[in-house]
Structure 1
């Protein structure tokens, strides 16, 4: 198909598609003339993926670029792809700047993560993010211990296991990689959304219960 047809089927402007081509997010089409090229279903699928990651997944184009580069790298295994996705979802990998509080928090987070016996690299950005969360809690005046993460870790283990189990065992490498990317990013949004809705429901329910108690008295 020509780029105009690709635009029509994908719902994206031609200018946007050309931008993705220039940025390497979309592979070039098959050249048919000096200023013309043909595009196939793979290009359409890639455009759907980019749109999904940016619109629903809320990822910046820089993160999407890292993900599609890893997808195009035939040598990237699924565990390596997971690290790329996690870096895109949790980009806070800078050094903590909170003095002794941050240093103590980093030690406790590393001890906590290492104690899980999960295959998490020492320099994984998630460690820095958890450190920043724990440090921020303490700077706000709450004396939370690293065990505050335990229920989140337990829920994360169950959810991640369920997500990985939904990838068919007979899926080829490309299909498995695409499913891993899409499900990880989309269910991250779903998890945050449902958690927010649960907060709203529980707080409202407790407020309603409190009002009933006041009315009864």
Structure 2
């Protein structure tokens, strides 16, 4: 198909598609002339993936670029792709600016993560994120221990196991890679959304119960 048809089917403006081509997010089409090229179903699928990651997935193009490059690298196994996704989801330029509190928090987070016996690299950005969360809680006056993450870790392990069960992890097939990317990013959004909705429901329920108790007395 020509780029105009690719635009029509994808719902994206031609200018946006050309931008993705220039940025290397979309592979070039098959040249048919000096200023013309044909595009196939693989280009349409890639546009759907980019649109999904940038809209529902809420990722910046810089993160999408990291992910699509890893998908296109046939030498990247799915476990390596998973690390790329996690790195894209978490900023890499995190720094500890909380002095001794942050240093203590990082030491405790590392011990916590290492104690899980998970395959997590020492420099994984997720460690810095957990450190920042724990440090911020303490600076705000909550003296939470690192065990505050335990229920989240347990829930995450269960959810991740269920998700991975639907992905053929014993292959480096591109479809499996795209499935891993889409499900990881989209269910990250779903998890945060459902957690927020649950907060709203539980708080409203408890306020309602408290109001009924006050009225009865």
Is TM-score (shorter-chain normalized) higher than 0.5? yes
The alpha carbon displacement at 1:175 in A equals 1.4
Partners of 2:13 and 2:51 lie apart in 1 by 12
Cα distance, 1:145 vs structure 2: 0.3
Taking the aligned partners of 2:170 and 2:98, their CA distance within structure 1 comes to 48
Equivalent residue, structure 2, for 1:144 = 144
- Structure 2 stretches lacking a partner, 5+ long: none
Q: What does 1:58-69 align with in structure 2 at a 5 Å threshold? A: 58-69=58-69
TM-score (norm 2): 0.98
Displacement of 1:91 in angstroms is 1.5
Q: Please state if 1:163 is matched with 2:154.
A: no
Identify the residue that residue 73 of structure 2 maps to in structure 1: 73
Q: 1:152 to 1:106 in 2, by over 3 A?
A: same
- Do the aligned partners of 1:93 and 1:129 also contact (CA within 8 Å) in 2? no
Question: Is 1:11 paired with 2:11?
Answer: yes
Matching residue of 1:134: 134
Distance in 2 (alpha carbons) for counterparts of 1:57 and 1:169: 22
1:79-90 maps to which residues of 2 (within 5 A)? Answer: 79-90=79-90
Unaligned runs of 5+ in 1: none
- The number of equivalent residue pairs is 217
Query: SS of 1:24's equivalent?
Result: coil
CA–CA distance in structure 2, aligned partners of residues 5 and 132 of structure 1:
47
Distance in 2 (CA, whole Å) between partners of 1:136 and 1:40 is: 49
Q: Residue 163 of structure 1 contacts residue 183 of structure 1 at CA under 8 Å; is this kept in 2? A: yes
Q: Note the aligned Cα RMSD (angstroms).
A: 1.1
Name 1:20's counterpart in structure 2. Answer: 20
Q: Please give the alpha-carbon distance, in whole angstroms, between the structure 2 residues aligned to 1:92 and 1:66.
A: 12
User: Aligned ranges for residues 26-105 of structure 1 at < 5 Å?
Assistant: 26-105=26-105
Q: CA deviation at 1:95?
A: 2.1
